[in-house]
């Protein structure tokens, strides 16, 4: 049973039924007015939404971003009108004008819900499966923070709505498995089992036994009529009362419930019902047909009284925060208002040789000490990615305070969970794997960029120079494709010092994600400039006849080439350009000063795509426009011309053309 305190408004006066019908009517009207959108899901899940929000969800519409609120994730984000209606009716700062402006330019009511904690929208959903898996991250964040700060300060749940599409997506299998393994008892998902997806009956493609699947993953499951308010409430109470496992409530529903002709049809998923069907549906529910967007005052009053409990919970929580003992309070403040961090690094000597992944690993202890919210892990590659904070323990239900999360071989869920940790608040998460497998987490990386979530992506084994594992493991197009993603900062440091600088930038960024692209192979420590990394690119070696621009492991090759050219009286400048995005953000004057007016040659062990914009029309690009090869790294460098002498020869050739 749920603990005391859950508000249970009277069921007898039919007000809940009216509230449910209001949600249905608003969804129909908004979609009709926009002439686009998804009426089916909001109508099908209205009973579930009204029950959850009015009786269980711990939120305060006057403080939508209160840290100890319950999180609500709408994974089937196409049903966004359901969320917008609930937020509006419950008194969040989402107005009827916003609802009328559904899907329009400049409105707060995008087709799919985008993150806006000020309005009560927890995360960006739309790509199916993302919400499911991101919610798992939020539940991990709650369990972890509760273990460190105590139940007085951290005591909330993560609820989510998920659909057939969410459960068909592979990432829900990865994330569901992880949630079961970690016994995330405060994670509760309501599955809209309406047996319909866009192409028709789910019977065509989705025949697995969902209950058995989730039970096998360690979840608690229930199977209910999703239009029976009492059954929904009882299922939620049971799910809340049970804390040793995550819960899935399979809710049997009808898509477009209440629309006489559209109910149960795939067409109602994503098309306006049409004026006549809207009229018939309203008539059938006994709802006023005109004007549209009508809400009875008692419905607002019903939700206002239902929200009173959440408001009281928040004021009780604020008192507990005030009364918290010094140590807890200090940790709370450090986690929730982090100070700028400055990393010293272990100190490297020019000429020493180490991989940038190793330099990264060497700075972990310092980061963990200076950044109490630092948390993360890898997809079964701890030793290879050198990402460990404390090797003596790892996150589990027995060790929720551990900051090392073992994700297993689940890159996609790892990406989503990391975003969940980031948007939950209080934490500074990272996730690590081989760079080539960034493909497996790309949808989550994209959402981190879209949400401006400060997730840190650690990608090691960053080029063909990982060697013998061969082309399947060698990233080629990844740098270009990730640089193409708005708001993601991709940093490829040239040596150990630049790696420390890159970490410092990543840790201090709060308005978006940073990807750190690190080598497997050793690189010499150069006389690199940490401040230069913050500007995205800088002159590492002065020269006037030619400018060699390189990133990561190709910077030392450029330096060797410059040495060779100097012997022929050719003065080569070397520019280290670890981060395009930061470099682009500099004043034009700085950029032209760094790149210079001499002919330019770009060197990077990846596709040449995009480098034209750095070298100009008469520049030269030394890239790799094909997949790699399985061989020792020195042989690959020799064969592909990524050595000092080979680069010098290319430059001489180019200059004498
Ligand atoms: C990753 C991804 N693929 C495809 C889509 C397009 N899409 C939106 S909803 C949907 C399936 C609809 O079925 P269901 O999830 O059962 O939702 P319902 O129609 O029952 O509301 C699809 C394929 C998407 N949003 N995300
Ligand atoms: Mg469905």
Among candidate residues 411, 498, 504, 554, the one labeled active-site is 411
Q: Does residue 174 contact residue 409 with C-beta atoms inside 8 Å?
A: no
Cα(126) to ligand 1 centroid in Å equals: 8
Mutation probe of ligand 1 site: the residue of 162, 198, 255 with most atoms within 8 A of C-beta: 198
Q: What are the pLDDT digits (tens) for 450-468?
A: 999 999 999 999 999 999 9
Percent of the chain predicted with pLDDT > 70 = 98
Closest atom, ligand 1, to C-alpha of 40: 21
Tell me how far apart the alpha carbons of residues 108 and 314 are, in angstroms, rounded to a whole number: 25
Residue 618 pLDDT grade (very low, low, confident, very high; cuts 50, 70, 90): confident
Q: Does residue 237 contact residue 210 with C-beta atoms inside 8 Å?
A: no
Q: What are the pLDDT digits (tens) for 216-274?
A: 999 999 999 999 999 999 999 999 999 999 999 999 999 999 999 999 999 999 999 99
Ligand found nearest the CA of 80? 1
| Token pair recorded at residue 537 | 């690119």
CB-count exposure of residue 6 (10 Å: 0-12, 13-18, 19+)? middle
Closest atom, ligand 1, to C-alpha of 255: 20
Q: Does residue 124 contact residue 447 with C-beta atoms inside 8 Å?
A: yes
Cα(97) to ligand 1 centroid in Å equals: 27
- Mean pLDDT, the chain, rounded, equals 96
Tell me how far apart the alpha carbons of residues 476 and 72 are, in angstroms, rounded to a whole number: 39
Q: What are the pLDDT digits (tens) for 274-301?
A: 999 999 999 999 999 999 999 999 999 9
Question: What are φ and ψ of residue 265, in 5° steps?
Answer: -105, 150
Closest atom, ligand 1, to C-alpha of 129: 1
Ligand found nearest the CA of 81? 1
Active site residue 114: no
Whether pTM exceeds 0.95: yes
Residue 370 pLDDT grade (very low, low, confident, very high; cuts 50, 70, 90): very high
Q: Is the pLDDT of residue 12 over 70?
A: no
Percent of the chain predicted with pLDDT > 90 = 97
Q: Does residue 348 contact residue 359 with C-beta atoms inside 8 Å?
A: yes
**CA atoms within a 13 Å half-sphere pointing along the CA-CB vector of 592:** 4
Q: Is the pLDDT of residue 191 over 70?
A: yes
Q: Does residue 250 contact residue 188 with C-beta atoms inside 8 Å?
A: no
Cα(61) to ligand 1 centroid in Å equals: 29
Tell me how far apart the alpha carbons of residues 241 and 238 are, in angstroms, rounded to a whole number: 5
Give the Cβ contact number of residue 169 at 10 Å. Answer: 22
Which residues have CB under 6 Å of ligand 1? 40-41, 76, 78, 126-128, 163-165, 169, 192, 194, 196-198, 255, 269
Question: What are φ and ψ of residue 493, in 5° steps?
Answer: -70, 150
Q: Who's near 364: CB < 8 A, 6+ residues apart?
A: 386, 387, 388, 389
Q: What three-state secondary structure class fits 216?
A: helix
The reported pLDDT for the residue numbered 657 is: 80
Mutation probe of ligand 1 site: the residue of 46, 165, 256 with most atoms within 8 A of C-beta: 165
Residue 370 Cα distances to 188, 338, 364, 390, angstroms: 34, 10, 10, 14
Ligand found nearest the CA of 78? 1
276 upstream amide cis, omega within 30 of 0: no
Closest atom, ligand 1, to C-alpha of 269: 19
Cα(104) to ligand 1 centroid in Å equals: 21
Q: What is the mean pLDDT of residues 313-319?
A: 98
Q: What is the mean pLDDT of residues 417-421?
A: 98
351 vs 423: which has the higher pLDDT: 423
Residue 145 pLDDT grade (very low, low, confident, very high; cuts 50, 70, 90): very high
Residue 227 Cα distances to 43, 163, 192, 256, 646, angstroms: 10, 16, 11, 12, 71
| Token pair recorded at residue 261 | 């002709």
Closest atom, ligand 1, to C-alpha of 192: 20
Q: Is the pLDDT of residue 582 over 70?
A: yes
Residue 67 Cα distances to 70, 241, 342, 425, angstroms: 9, 22, 27, 7
Considering only CA atoms, which residue is closest to atom 26 of ligand 1?
127
Cα(255) to ligand 2 centroid in Å equals: 7
Q: Does residue 272 contact residue 279 with C-beta atoms inside 8 Å?
A: no
The reported pLDDT for the residue numbered 183 is: 98
Residue 7 pLDDT grade (very low, low, confident, very high; cuts 50, 70, 90): low
Tell me how far apart the alpha carbons of residues 126 and 74 are, in angstroms, rounded to a whole number: 9
Q: Who's near 518: CB < 8 A, 6+ residues apart?
A: 355, 356, 357, 360, 458, 459, 460, 462, 492, 493, 499
| Token pair recorded at residue 527 | 């006389």
């Amino acid at each position: 049973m749920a603990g005391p305190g859950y508000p249970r408004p009277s069921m007898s006066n039919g007000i809940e039924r009216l509230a449910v019908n209001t949600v249905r009517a608003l969804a129909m009207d908004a979609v009709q007015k926009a002439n686009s959108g998804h009426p089916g899901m909001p109508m099908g899940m209205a009973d579930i939404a009204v029950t959850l929000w009015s009786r269980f969800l711990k939120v305060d519409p006057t403080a939508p971003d209160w840290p100890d609120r319950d999180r609500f994730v709408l994974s089937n984000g196409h049903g966004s009108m359901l969320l917008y209606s609930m937020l509006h009716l419950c008194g969040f700062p989402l107005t009827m004008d916003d609802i009328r402006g559904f899907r329009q330019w400049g409105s707060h009511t995008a087709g799919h819900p985008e993150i806006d904690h000020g309005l009560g929208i927890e995360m960006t959903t739309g790509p199916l499966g993302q919400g499911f898996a991101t919610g798992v991250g939020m539940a991990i964040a709650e369990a972890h923070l509760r273990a460190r700060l105590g139940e007085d300060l951290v005591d909330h749940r993560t609820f989510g709505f998920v659909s057939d599409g969410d459960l068909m997506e592979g990432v829900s299998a990865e994330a569901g498995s992880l949630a079961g393994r970690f016994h995330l008892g405060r994670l509760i998902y309501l599955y809209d089992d309406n047996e319909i997806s866009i192409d028709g009956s789910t019977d065509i493609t989705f025949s697995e036994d969902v209950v058995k699947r989730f039970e096998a993953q360690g979840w608690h499951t229930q199977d209910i009529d999703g239009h029976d308010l009492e059954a929904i409430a009882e299922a939620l109470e049971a799910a809340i009362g049970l804390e040793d496992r995550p819960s899935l409530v399979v809710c049997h529903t009808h898509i477009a419930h209440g629309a006489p002709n559209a109910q149960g049809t795939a067409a109602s998923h994503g098309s306006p019902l049409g004026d006549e069907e809207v009229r018939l549906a309203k008539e059938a529910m006994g709802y006023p047909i005109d004007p549209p967007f009508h809400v009875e005052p008692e419905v607002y009053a019903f939700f206002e009284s239902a929200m009173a409990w959440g408001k009281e919970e928040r004021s009780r929580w604020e008192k507990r925060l005030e009364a918290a003992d010094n140590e807890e309070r200090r940790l709370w403040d450090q986690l929730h208002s982090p100070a700028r961090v400055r990393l010293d690094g272990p100190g490297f000597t020019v000429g020493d040789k180490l991989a940038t992944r190793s330099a990264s690993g060497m700075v972990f202890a310092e980061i963990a000490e200076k950044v109490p919210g630092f948390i993360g892990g890898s997809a079964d590659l701890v030793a290879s990615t050198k990402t460990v904070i404390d090797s003596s323990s790892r996150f589990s239900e027995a060790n929720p305070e551990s900051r090392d999360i073992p994700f297993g071989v689940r890159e996609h869920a790892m990406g989503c969970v990391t975003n969940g940790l980031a948007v939950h608040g209080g934490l500074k998460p990272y996730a690590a794997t081989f760079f080539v497998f960034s493909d497996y987490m790309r949808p989550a990386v994209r959402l981190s960029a879209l949400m401006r979530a400060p997730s840190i992506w650690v990608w090691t084994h960053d080029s063909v120079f990982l060697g013998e594992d061969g082309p399947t493991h060698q990233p080629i197009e990844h740098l270009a494709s990730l640089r193409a993603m708005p708001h993601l900062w991709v940093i490829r440091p040239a040596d150990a010092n630049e790696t420390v600088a890159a970490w410092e930038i990543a840790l201090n960024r709060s308005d978006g994600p940073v990807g750190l692209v690190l080598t497997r192979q050793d690189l010499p420590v150069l006389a690199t400039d940490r401040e230069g990394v913050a500007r995205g690119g800088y002159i590492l070696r002065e020269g006037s006849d030619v400018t060699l621009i390189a990133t990561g492991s190709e910077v030392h090759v450029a330096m060797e080439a410059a040495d060779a050219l100097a012997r022929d009286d050719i003065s080569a400048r070397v520019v280290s350009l670890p981060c395009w995005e930061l470099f682009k953000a500099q004043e034009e004057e700085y950029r032209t000063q760094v790149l210079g007016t001499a002919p330019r040659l770009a060197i990077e062990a990846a596709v040449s795509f995009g480098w034209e914009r750095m070298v100009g029309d008469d520049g030269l690009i030394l890239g790799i426009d094909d997949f790699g090869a399985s061989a020792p790294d020195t042989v690959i460098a020799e064969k592909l011309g990524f050595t000092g002498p080979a680069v010098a020869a290319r430059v001489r050739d180019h200059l004498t053309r």
